[in-house]
Amino acid sequence: MPLTDVEVRSARPRDKAYRLADGAGMYLEVSQTGGKYWRLKYRFGGKEKRLALGVYPEVSAKEARERRAQARKLLANGIDPGIERKVQKAATLERAANSFEAVAREWFARQAPGWAASHADKIMGRLENDVFPWLGGRAIAEIKAPEVLAVLRRVEARGALDTAHRVHQNCGQVFRYAVATGRAERDISSDLRGALPPARHTHFASVTDPSEVAGLLRALDGFQGTFVVQCALRLAPLLFVRPGELRTAEWAQLDLDKAQWRYTVSKTKTEHLVPLATQVVAILRELHALTGQRRYVFPGRDPKKTMSEAAINAALRRMGFDTKTEITGHGFRAMARTILHEQLRFPSEVIEHQLAHKVPDALGTAYNRTKFIADRTAMMQAWADYLDSLKAGERAASPATARVA
């Protein structure tokens, strides 16, 4: 007779493990410690075998009997249920190893060492927030284009069209890695080209009118926050490097006697040299008295770390500037690029090299940190002098005074 719920529930441990038969080869094994295990005894190929059906109470008697029925159906078809379970378990493990998330994290681990930390964080953030919850557990070879499109539509629906395009790009990179490593037949994300409307790329907010620049510079000098942030604000327009590069500047990279700053560009991983105008050196020498014994030029509240990534923009907002429509930390680059070319008449190639952009020349050289160094040194000093003249309320310097020899 099948066991009743009362019999199963009231079975108590004894000095030795014992069994309570349920019929058709199934029984409840009660251990010395009180554990209750459903088992199925069967014969296959002339040998007696046992199959675990679950643990009570997680698996009820009814569920255990259903599993017994499934096992007996396999036996009737000449299949050993024990072997079948091992095969299914192996397949499950293989699917987990070849899931979209597993492949994506493997791809990321190989690529991330060559990326800036901020870039790597953004990519993994997109994958974890916008892709893994829906596709992470799926075997990558089984994912279809409409499933990826559904992921992209969710991102698009919240108004983040540019992010949707970036998610599409990252998915394609993962699929291509899966193809290269034998986990997928093709990159199905390529079928979605044109499925999203074009993204409207917006430039960082910037000020390029000399009269407006004058007011901005005077506001920066009057910032009432910490001395470290004040120095960073005063240096940002003078150096016009990427905000992350300014924020993570190290004293070991600076040679104030030679008036040079050498560092590795975060975006291109190339070495870069920034000539320092006399005004820049003066600010840095003043700051050195406060932070010169530390690693970073602009330390944060924790002296072992840099100041916050949001510090510059937060300071601009405190001074009343709209960082979406007026100026951002990155906007100083556009300001310098525009005015140096249009007002001071410096050649574009000199400006682009100082911006650490890849500018192929006639010989195919993408970037050389010392190229145009004499011109760039003169340009950086002329730029600092020009900004001083704007702050003082003078007219823009004559283009003739800023001519490159």
| Residues forming the active site | 242, 267, 330, 333, 357, 367
Cβ distance 239 to 246 under 8 Å? yes
Cβ distance 399 to 226 under 8 Å? no
Cβ distance 377 to 384 under 8 Å? no
The residue length of the chain stands at 405
Closest CA to 389 of 405, 402, 376: 402
Cβ distance 404 to 346 under 8 Å? yes
Closest CA to 26 of 60, 64, 75: 64
Closest CA to 218 of 307, 323, 319, 288: 319
- What angle do the packed helices 210-221 and 373-391 form, to 10 degrees? 80
**DSSP states of 186-239:** S-GGGGGTTSSPPP---PPP----HHHHHHHHHHHHT--S-HHHHHHHHHHHHH
- The greatest distance separating any two alpha carbons of the chain, rounded to the nearest whole angstrom, comes to 107
> What Å distances lie between residue 4 and 9, 10, 25, 51, 67, CA to CA?
9, 10, 16, 21, 17
Please list the residues that pair with 29 across neighbouring strands.
19, 37
| Alpha-carbon 148 to chain mean position | 19
List the structure tokens of 400. 């003739």
- Which of helix, strand or coil describes residue 28? strand
CA dist 24 and 72 (Å) reads: 9
List the structure tokens of 344. 């001071």
Q: In what order do the strands lie in the sheet with 260-264?
A: 254-255, 260-264, 271-275
CA dist 42 and 24 (Å) reads: 9
